[in-house]
Chain A
Amino acid sequence: MKTLKNLTMCLAMSSTIAVLFFPAPASAQSKLTDPEIASIAVTANQVDINQAALAKKKSKNAEVLNFAQTMTNDHKAVIDQAVALVTKLKVTPKDNATSQKLLADAAKTKAALQTKSGTAFDKAYVDNEVAYHKAVIGVVEGTLIPATQNAELKALLQKVVPALKTHLEHAEMLQKSLNK
């Protein structure tokens, strides 16, 4: 936990949405455990599903709605695979400071998004998705994969990265389209 306190990577949001903090790479002295990594992975996916649920409720833009549905389906597929794997490995995901922070920041972001409507909501949601996916990719590649001990969990995280990068590319495309 000492390491987590030292994690300082901060992601500034490009919109007026609240600042989203994501932990920085762990130091060499202290590493996350596999149960903690599993918890972070599931939480990170669930956070994006929750934001997509809000978008599906508030947006009327077909492209934004399509993106939100894709986030729902893809992140649910990842959670399903992660749950199946930890069940097989008899690993119980362990709540930790990182997963708690993810949830706390997601609540702030959701509250900020709730205040918006129409195009302002669409832009804020998509801006958040761009920033969130950038942060998650950085953490998965820079912290979670290097720290994971179990080969199957590591392989699953590695398999998720291309999907996250495609989501980012999709979100950036939407961002450009909304800012025209």
Chain B
Amino acid sequence: MKIAVASGGLLIASVLFLLSGCSSPPEKPKVYTVEIKDMKFVPEDITVKKGDTIIWVNDDIVTHDITEETSKAWSSGPLPAGKSWKHAVTDEASYYCSIHVVMKGKIELE
């Protein structure tokens, strides 16, 4: 009887081990690039997962910034030509360039 209980326990443990072994490992956060070119964010809309990082690269000839639009929750500050800035995504956001207020972009979550 004791052997049967022990065997049953071992079986459950084995099944759990196998199940855990079969599930895919957690995905590593990804890094995405948004180019600032010809006075536009390229791409303007980007879809990522929470924890991913976005790098904005200023390939224009003038200074830009990347600023969360609704409450100014985050901002790169002035980003001169040729420089880049990265931001770890925690939430969806609409953002814009507060220097050139007609330049807008959007971060969406998968």
Q: Is the CB of A73 within 8 A of B63?
A: yes
Question: What is the CA–CA distance of A169 and B38 in the complex, to the nearest angstrom?
Answer: 14
B107 → A minimal CB distance (Å): 21
Residues 32 to 80 of chain B near chain A (Cβ within 8 Å):
38-40, 60-63
Number of interface residues of A (CB under 8 A): 17
- Using a CB-CB cutoff of 8 Å, which residues 72-89 of chain A contact chain B? 73-74, 77-78, 81
- Residues on B with C-beta less than 8 A from A162 are 38-40, 60
Contact flags A45-85 to B (C-beta < 8 A → 1, else 0): 00000000000000000000010001001100110010000
* B61 touching A165, Cβ below 8 Å: no
Contact of B62 (CB < 8 Å), options: A163, A165, A169, A173: A163
A77-B63 contact given A163-B39, A165-B39, CB 8 Å threshold: yes
User: 1/0 per position for A136-155, CB-CB distance to B under 8 A?
Assistant: 00000000000000000000
- CB-CB nearest in chain B for A63: B101
Is B19 engaged at the interface, CB distance under 8 Å to the other chain?
no
Q: Please tell me if B100 contacts chain A, counting CB pairs below 8 Å.
A: yes
- B61–A166 contact, CB under 8 A? no
A160 to B39, CA, bound (A): 10
Q: Is B31 interfacial (CB 8 A cutoff)?
A: no
18 CB < 8 A contacts A-B: A66-B98, A70-B99, A70-B100, A73-B99, A74-B62, A77-B62, A78-B61, A78-B62, A159-B38, A162-B39, A162-B40, A162-B60, A163-B61, A166-B39, A166-B102, A169-B102, A170-B100, A173-B102
